[in-house]
Amino acid sequence: MSVLVFVEVDEKEIKKSSLEAISYGKALEDDVLAICFDKVDHGAVESIGKAGAKKLIQVTNEQLAVPNIMAYSSAIAEAFDQNGCSVLVLAKSSLGDPVSARVAIKVGASVVSNVSGLSEGSGEFVVDRSIYTGKALAKTIVKGDKKVITIKKNTVPVREDGAAPEVVDFQPTLSDGDFVVKVTKTEKTTGEVLLPEADIVVSGGRGMGGPEKWGILEDLAKVLGAATGCSKPVSDMNWRPHHEHVGQTGIKVSPSLYIAVGISGAIQHLAGVNSSKYILVINKDPEAPFFKAADFGIVGDAFDIVPKLTEAIKAKKD
């Protein structure tokens, strides 16, 4: 049995979530193949191998230089069948989600999403799925010979013990039907780190006191290479743009580190952040509910603590 992993690239580097998907594939089977639509350099190829892939299927079709859900799905399904694969693993993402569903239909596979681990000690193929915004795990039996699994970010450690993979060129057979929707160009609206993809998020709440006070959070985000987020009232009052609103009714994030500054920790906010690996809360009220969900907490005034934290991180980096 071979496992195929769809690998995504950001700024020429393999996304960490894709390396996690490869490592998950390696835990399933020894024979792991990765498929990538971006031309990647030597360092990126090496990271794919280290994470556990034996082979990199490099798609070099010019038409696929810009992500295209339908064409990507057709190409992945073709590679899946051609290589006799039985499992496709992808990182859960805005691209991975629709691709996983389409490939599952094309190859006739069962599909499970938001998987956070492999259950052990059972003869059946059982996975742990994260449900209720990360508050519970559903042990899910996956039947059928072919399976498509999307992995939740930050739940699988990345392996670093693999060898350099063999790289093979792949030209998929595509039809006009794969290009009925065509993305001609993708432009980031901001040069900043995007919130849903960020590995670190610095988020501010009403305790920040006003939009003009956000500089200290932006400085902290800059030294950490983090995205900025906020609570709902903050975006409702237009202190920050709506796309930064985190929570039940906003963006759900799952970074390695979520830093919450001047946010009380209402249940609706926690619903968007409780999949974070670590949470650091900075709040002047020791009774703030967020501390109960925190891995690390600092009781104090944000305007005293945050600049010191930024300076300490800068000093450590120099």
Residue 285 touching ligand FAD (CB under 6 A) = yes
Residue 262 touching ligand FAD (CB under 6 A) = yes
Helix (H, G, I), strand (E, B) or coil at 280: strand
Binding part of the chain for ligand FAD, among 123-131, 140-148, 155-163, 202-210 by CB under 6 A, reads: 202-210
Q: Is the CB of 60 or the CB of 268 nearer to ligand FAD?
A: 268
Extended beta strands in 119-188, E state: 126-131, 136-141, 147-151, 166-170
Q: Is the CB of 272 or the CB of 297 nearer to ligand FAD?
A: 272
Among left, alpha and beta (phi > 0; psi -120 to 50; other), residue 111 is: beta
Q: Is the CB of 25 or the CB of 247 nearer to ligand FAD?
A: 247
Smallest distance, ligand FAD to C-beta of residue 138, A: 23
Smallest distance, ligand FAD to C-beta of residue 110, A: 32
Q: Is the CB of 1 or the CB of 312 nearer to ligand FAD?
A: 312
Enumerate the β-bridge partners of residue 201: 227, 258
Q: Nearest CA to 44 among 224, 164, 157?
A: 164
The one-letter code for the residue type at 31 is D
Smallest distance, ligand FAD to C-beta of residue 209, A: 7
Smallest distance, ligand FAD to C-beta of residue 144, A: 36
Residue 231 touching ligand FAD (CB under 6 A) = yes
The binder of ligand FAD chosen from 205, 229, 255, 297 (CB under 6 A): 205
Residue 82 touching ligand FAD (CB under 6 A) = no
Q: How many residues in the shown chain lie near ligand FAD by CB under 6 A?
A: 26
> Which long-range contacts link 39-43 to residues 24+ away (Cβ below 8 Å)?
40/9, 40/12, 40/14, 41/12, 43/13
For residue 174, report the phi and psi dihedrals to the nearest 5 degrees: -115, 150
Where do the H-state alpha helices sit in 182-301? Answer: 215-224, 232-236, 267-270, 290-293
DSSP-assigned states of every residue in 82-130: HTTEEEEEEE-STTHHHHHHHHHHHHT-EEEEEEEEE--S-SS-EEEEE
Binding part of the chain for ligand FAD, among 32-40, 80-88, 220-228, 243-251 by CB under 6 A, reads: 243-251
The binder of ligand FAD chosen from 140, 266, 278, 313 (CB under 6 A): 266
The binder of ligand FAD chosen from 168, 237, 249, 314 (CB under 6 A): 249
Q: For residue 198, what are the contacts with CB-CB under 8 A and spacing of at least 6?
A: 226, 227, 253, 255
Smallest distance, ligand FAD to C-beta of residue 191, A: 25
Q: Nearest CA to 127 among 161, 169, 156?
A: 156
The binder of ligand FAD chosen from 248, 256, 277, 313 (CB under 6 A): 248
The one-letter code for the residue type at 34 is A
DSSP 54: S
Q: Is the CB of 134 or the CB of 262 nearer to ligand FAD?
A: 262
Residue 283 touching ligand FAD (CB under 6 A) = yes
CB 142 within 8 A of CB 119: no
CA distance 42 to 33: 17
The binder of ligand FAD chosen from 134, 207, 229, 297 (CB under 6 A): 207
The binder of ligand FAD chosen from 250, 273, 275, 281 (CB under 6 A): 250
Q: Is the CB of 41 or the CB of 212 nearer to ligand FAD?
A: 212
User: Where does this chain bind ligand FAD (CB under 6 A)?
Assistant: 205-207, 231-234, 247-250, 262-264, 266, 268-269, 272, 282-285, 288, 301-303
